[in-house]
Chain A
Amino acid sequence: MDIQDVVWTIALVGMGLVALGFVHVIVQAGKPADEAATRKSAHSAHVLQAWLFVVLFVGFVAGSWATLRHFPIPPQQGTLGAQQVVDVVGRQWSWQMKPDTVRTGSVVEFRVTSDDVNHGFALYAPDGRIVAQTQAMPGYTNKLLHTFERPGTYTVQCLEYCGLGHAPMKTTLKVVAAKGD
């Protein structure tokens, strides 16, 4: 399962839970409550709100720890020690990439910059899904680390709007199987 499918599932569950809460209240909205029932439901609402806070807070702390423990962005200062390095320059409306072939199984460091305006360096797997991206910004070099697991022809697509030729601003990266793979 790609990360996009995981995100899609979490989003649907989250939005679905919100929708269920609203549907429940809408169904109950037409049933008037007397004073005693109003007091009781106000008390239940406070208890539920406290529980909801606890659940969200635990999710917040656990989720932050899980997603930030191994920081997803590599350090940008100094050398990263990757076995393969690809220098990438974006310009209206083409990519210059040296070399344009990498191997599977070992980490690749992409050093991405731009000659003119902001571009988006997005790596699309052969199945059409994004596997990694960073911005190409004039005056800066963003370092992106990625390890390819599947060989094939990957597409580099500009993902930051950069003018009239934005959509066709793409090139290919060949990923070959490492020896022994």
Chain B
Amino acid sequence: MASLTMYPDDERLASRDRVAFNLYIITAVALFVLMMLVGLTMRMSQAKWLDVPPNLFYELLSMHGAGMVGTISLATTAVMWFFLRKYVRLHLWAFVANYVLFLLGALCIIVSIFAYGYGALWTFLYPLPVHGVGMWTADSSALFMLGYLLIGVGSLLFYLDAAAAIIKVHGNLGRALGLQWLFGGKIDPDHPKAVVASTMVIITNSLGILAGAVVLVMSLVNIFYPQVVLNALVAKNLIYWFGHMYINATIYMGVIAIYELLPRYTGKPYPISRPFLWSWAVSTVFVVIVFPHHLLMDFAQPRWLAIMGQVVSWGAGFPVFLVTAYGALTNIYRSNIRWTMPSRLMILSVFGWAAGIVPAILDGTIRINSVMHNTQWVPGHFHFYILLGVLAMALSLMFHEIGSRAHAAPNSAADRMGFPVYLIGGLIFVFGFLDGGRMSVPRRMAQHLDAWTYTDKIGSVGAILVVLAMLYFAIRITVGLLKPPSPSPVPVPESMPQPGPMPSPSPGVVGVGTTNAAG
């Protein structure tokens, strides 16, 4: 069971661990700000407030897509590592190797885009990378793909190390997922949710990355040996299989922060249960087989794949609504939770995930997809659960960690102002997209008709607010992580009576190793 101790000793970062963690987080928040500025530039261009030439627009779009997916993966990998290392023995070299390979891969991607004009987007949809028609060359596509391969190898190294460590403790991945308790038996109350979630991510995202590696190598072969022609439908299936699992893994890595941190802020235990194990077992399968919902408008696909895409998209809502969101809300209900930055961000993240999948599930319906596919409805729903969901999950750990340095959960006046700016800006931003989808405004388009620009303007205003809030968060987190730790307060003895059956965690008195609630 997750600890109710606010800053437990086994979570404290030793010197080398701290350097690695800080590198991940500071790199991630800096990249988030930069990629958000890129996104804002595109929205303002669509709103006709900025004049961005189409070639630059599509370069920015390629950068924003690849950059954001990579960065959110980097940040949530840090979340998974931070908590998983308490339960199994992870090797720091694997965590650092992932970071180094990420930077090398990012460098390849940046050079391919801004030096050589790559503009086939983060999806590198075959055969577009070899059809740049003057905007980019096949060589620039090859460099971009090399960047992906480096990042993928880094992720796989991290997952393999984590898988080996989990198997060492739990015997095999099935037992780590808790499959032995699905149909009966006494569930070990100390079986960590972080291990369950990490195992699911390792299984699904390793498969996804391997699928990505296959299609990347196939595409590279096509670049250097054009006589080797690929099947466009097979390539598209592999690309979306990889892409879907890679971005979904970020949610499942990020949510570990909620499982671990929420009970500390509510003071209520958040125990593991059979429905929880069922939801993760089912999600493991669903995440692997749901990807055909990206190809519903490819009528040449076998019919059973399209049906599976719709049915599983709908079914994917059950674990989110009934277990994760419901469980988090039950934990918060009448808990006397103290609202600080980590707890605010946690509830926002669960809301962003749960609310954001409503338009996503609708879009996964074949009949609806026939009018919403590739409209702005799509960035509307995925920005909803990434910006207001996954990123908020990662931010909650970042704020929590700077709280551990200061021995008090962050809750300054500027924090209290930054949070609503992020929330309101985020909502305006995503509803600008969703309304664009309602009006059939296409996604991924440099030039917009005048009739469409009002949603672009709404989106731009929201994006400005989000960028401002994120800029503040990035500075706050960077300064907080680099600050030397405050002198430790006198710890409360474990035997000291706790104030009531459901005490509120008081940030001012909670120190490292201090228990704020019985349990």
Contact = CB atoms under 8 A, between A and B. Distances in A.
Interface of A: 3-5, 7-8, 10-11, 14-15, 18-19, 21-22, 25-26, 28-35, 37-38, 41-42, 45, 49, 52-53, 56, 60, 63-64, 67-68, 71-74, 76, 92, 116-118, 120, 122, 124, 128-135, 137-144, 157, 159-168
7 contacts: A3-B367, A22-B329, A53-B322, A56-B317, A68-B366, A72-B367, A160-B374
Interface residues of B, number: 78
Contacts, number: 221
Contacts of A133: 297, 370-371, 373-374
B125 interface: yes
Main SS class of interface, A: mixed
B232 A137 contact: yes
Interface stretch (B19-27, B34-42, B395-403, B436-444): B436-444
Contact of A142 (B299, B311, B335, B500): B299
A120 to B, nearest CB: 5
B153 interface: no
Contact of A92 (B120, B125, B131, B333): B131
Interface string B298-328: 1110010011001100110110011001100
B434 interface: yes
Contacts of B329: 21-22, 25
B438 A8 contact: yes
B243 to A, nearest CB: 14
Contacts of A159: 373-375, 442
B310 A67 contact: yes
A26 B334 contact: no
Interface centre among A22, A49, A162 (most CB of B within 10 A): A22
A164 B58 contact: yes
Given A14-B358, A129-B440, A137-B232, A68 B322 contact: no
Contacts of A117: 125, 127-128, 131
Contacts of A18: 325, 351, 354-355, 358
Nearest to A26: B347
A25 B333 contact: yes
A164 B317 contact: no
Interface in B107-141: 119-121, 125, 127-128, 131-135
B440 A124 contact: yes
B373 A64 contact: no
A94 to B, nearest CB: 12
A71 B315 CA distance: 19
A64 B336 contact: no
Contacts of B231: 139
B116 to A, nearest CB: 15
Contacts of A63: 314, 365
A116 B131 contact: yes
B336 A31 contact: yes
B310 A68 contact: yes
Interface in B225-245: 231-233, 236
Contacts of B300: 76, 137, 140-142
B330 interface: yes
B379 interface: no
A164 B299 contact: no
Given A135-B299, A137-B300, A139-B232, A45 B330 contact: yes
B440 A130 contact: yes
A137 B362 CA distance: 25
Contact of B372 (A4, A15, A32): A4
A76 B365 contact: no
B54 interface: yes
A58 to B, nearest CB: 12
Which 4 pairs show the lowest CB-CB distances between chains A and B?
Answer: A32-B336, A14-B358, A33-B334, A142-B299
A117 B204 CA distance: 29
Contacts of A26: 332, 347
B31 interface: no
A163 B297 contact: no
B334 A38 contact: yes
A31 to B, nearest CB: 5
Contacts of B311: 64, 68
A13 B21 CA distance: 41
Interface string B339-354: 0000000010011001
B299 A134 contact: yes
B445 interface: yes
A131 B502 contact: no
Given A22-B351, A163-B131, A4 B439 contact: yes
Nearest to B275: A49
A144 B299 contact: yes
Contacts of A21: 325, 329
B446 interface: yes
Given A76-B300, A140-B300, A160-B374, A29 B131 contact: no
Interface string B482-510: 00000000000000000011101000000
A114 to B, nearest CB: 8
Contacts of B54: 164, 167
Contacts of A144: 299
A67 to B, nearest CB: 5
Contacts of B128: 117-118, 161-163
